[in-house]
Every structure is written in C-alpha cells, then in structure tokens.
Copies of this chain bind each other. A is one copy, B any other.
Amino acid sequence: MRYFHNDYNRMCHPAVLEKMTAAFHEAMPGYGMDEHCAAAAQKVKELCGNKDLQVHFLTGGTQANLTVIDAALRPHQGALCAVTGHINVHETGAVEATGHKVIGLPSVDGKVTAAQVEQAAKFHLQDGDREHTVQPKLVYISDSTELGTVYTLQELQALSAVCKKYGYYLFLDGARLGYALASRDNDVTLADIAALCDVFYIGMTKGGAMFGECVVITNPVLAEDFRYLIKQHGGMLAKGWLLGLQMEALLQDDLYFKIARHADELADILRQTLQELGYPLFVEGSTNQVFPVLPVSILPELSKEVTFSPMDRVDEDHQAVRFCTSWANTEEEVQFLCQLLRKLSK
C-alpha cells in the first residue's frame, strides 16, 4: 500500500527522531522554559528577521487556533474567515466553545480577499444597531489553504492593510505553511509573514515533526500573558522541550523547507499526470494537496493499492478526492500512483 490520504500518517522525519534520541538523557525544566525551546525560538526569530516577536510551542492546530483566537478577542468579537476555513468546518466548534462566532465568508479557492474584509467591516460599522451583531475583530486565513492554494505577497499585503485600517488582527494558520512557502506559486517569505501578520504559526505536525505547532506572535498586545491562555486551554506540554527539540531538528539546514519542496514537487508530478489523463482538479493548487475529480468507477481498484481521502461527490459518476504528499513519500510511490491512474483510466 502507498499512503496519500494525508500528510501526517508517519511518525516523523528521521532527523527529528535522531535529535530526540540524542537528547534522551537530558534533564530539563518543564513547560517550555528550556534551552531547546529557546534555541528554536531564536532560530525562528532569525528566519523572521524580528528579534522582538514571541514564540510558543503548542501540540496541535485546533489547540493553536482556539488559544490564539481566545487570547485575541473580547467576548462580543468574532473571527472572519473563508467558509472553508478549518476553524469553521473541522474543529467541532472549538472557537465557538471559547465564546466567539466564526463568520464565514464565501470562497471558492479557500482564500479570503481584502475586499471581503473591507466589505464586512463597512457593513458592521454602517449598522446603526451594530451592538446587536458580532463585532469582527480578527481575520483568520490559512496558507496553504484547506484547498491547497497559496496567498501571494500582494494578497497578504492587502489583507494586512485592511486589517490595520479597521483595527483587526490578521492571523495566519500555517499548519501547512512549509508547503505554501515551497510552492512554485509562492512569492512570500517567512519574514514577509512576520511583518504582515499579527500572529501565525509554523506547522510542525504536517511538516515533519511527531506533533507540534510553532506559534509566532508579532503584535505585543496579543503576546501579553499568552502562556496563561496556553495553560488554561490544556496546551502546555509538561515536557515542553520535546517541541523545542523537534523544531531545532526541522530548522537545521533548512530541513523544514526541503521537506515541503520535496512534497510539492511530488504533487506536481501527480498533477501533470492528472492533466494528461484529462481529470479536472476540484481546485487548482500548487502545494502538497491535490484534489482531482475522478470517475467513481475506478475508486474501488484505486483504493486497493493507494490511500486517499474522499471529498465531495460531484455528480453521480464523479467524486472529488484528495491525495496528499509529504516527506514520507518517495518519487517511486508517486510514479506508482500515476501509473495506476493511467492503467485504470484506459
């Protein structure tokens, strides 16, 4: 079996386990107050070109999202995001459980536009009874998005500008940030993101680690007392240095970015084959997630040899599915998948 159903089906990149094994005998202070977290944070600051930002390590994406948003908002405030945004559809109402409305904006490619934010802001401010509605205060975006697309620098700059104009926070969910930055469509650097967002995270779980998300806070208002929030929401790992260790491994010699580039390139090979075979993509994209619309008839055979995730049924005969690539896939595996698709398409 070859595994393409997600990008977190293998333990971790070998370098991560090596790093952990090498540190096996160390005794460390708890809760992330250790030298590994400090070293990884230092490295992140360098990559972001900003020594004043705050770095925190959490264990997962939902945890990061709910903790950041709860830290940012007053009770009557809500988060704008694409209707497809992870917080809107796939976190069991985690943000609402902290008391805040998630306000979904229509989106076909998983992205939010500055114009949408401007419109939402104006709509709220023009309402004479605005205190009867949720006050937008934070814009949540994902890069790469849940649909595998990426933001351009221009798009991020426009979002950042409109957020500043209305006093909103811009929060970038980077669960798959590596895959975005490594994409052929990308023209954004980590430093750009740090300069344009109030808070974001560098996804570790889907980028080579066992687990973890590296939250970066550039806005001092959001940074205040953030550790209290982590603890309160159950996100403070007792042996926090496990997260620092993994991030150290991922940032050494650009491993994090190499992993992502490898996966994006494998995805491009698959996309090329799908194009050859005339299978449309549910959504265009350039990262490690590929969403072809396939004939339902070939799925049973396909699933005997490779794993993938079912998405929406497009019509009676066609189904969108998702293939994910990661550091754990080899070019041979992708070629095998491409061959299999060619064979089943005859």
Is the beta-carbon distance between A225 and B60 smaller than 8 angstroms?
A: no
Interface status of A342 (Cβ within 8 A of chain B): no
A132 at the interface (CB under 8 A from B): yes
Nearest-neighbour CB distance to chain B for A26, whole angstroms, equals 7
Which of these, B66, B76, B92, B235, contacts A76 with CB under 8 Å?
B92
Contacts of A229 in B (CB 8 A): 75-76
Q: Which residues of B contact A135 (CB under 8 A)?
A: 225, 228
Query: Distance (Å) between the CB of A37 and the closest chain B CB?
Result: 14
Is A237 an interface residue, CB under 8 A from the partner? yes
CB of A262 within 8 Å of the partner chain: no
Question: Which one of B27, B96, B132 contacts A101 once the chains associate, using CB atoms below 8 Å?
Answer: B96
Please state if B66 and A210 are interface contacts (CB–CB under 8 Å): no
How many copies of this chain does one complex carry? 4
Segment 22-80 of A: residues with Cβ below 8 Å from B: 23-31, 59-67, 70-71, 74-76, 78
- Count residues on chain A whose CB falls below 8 Å from chain B CBs: 74
Residues of B with C-beta under 8 A to A328: 27
A176 to chain B, nearest CB (A): 12
Bound together, the chains give a CA A31 to CA B211 distance in angstroms of 12
With a cutoff of 8 Å between Cβ atoms, the chain B residues found around residue A3 in the complex are: 27
> Would you call A134 an interface residue if the criterion is a C-beta within 8 Å of the partner chain's C-beta atoms?
yes
Flag whether A99 is at the interface (Cβ < 8 A).
Answer: yes
Q: How far is the CA of A237 from the CA of B14 in the complex (A)?
A: 20
Given A9-B27, A75-B98, are A92 and B239 also a contact pair (CB < 8 Å)?
no
Contact A74 B26, CB 8 Å, known A134-B92, A210-B239: no
Closest to A65 in B: B234
Given contacts A9-B30, A26-B10, A205-B239, contact A233 B91 (CB under 8 A): no
Interface residue? A154 (CB, 8 A): no
A76 and B225 contacting across the interface, CB-CB below 8 Å: yes
Q: Is the CB of B238 within 8 A of A131?
A: no
Q: Can you pick out 12 interface pairs between chain A and chain B where the beta carbons lie within 8 Å of each other? A: A10-B26, A11-B23, A59-B59, A62-B232, A66-B234, A76-B93, A76-B229, A91-B231, A92-B131, A92-B132, A135-B228, A211-B239
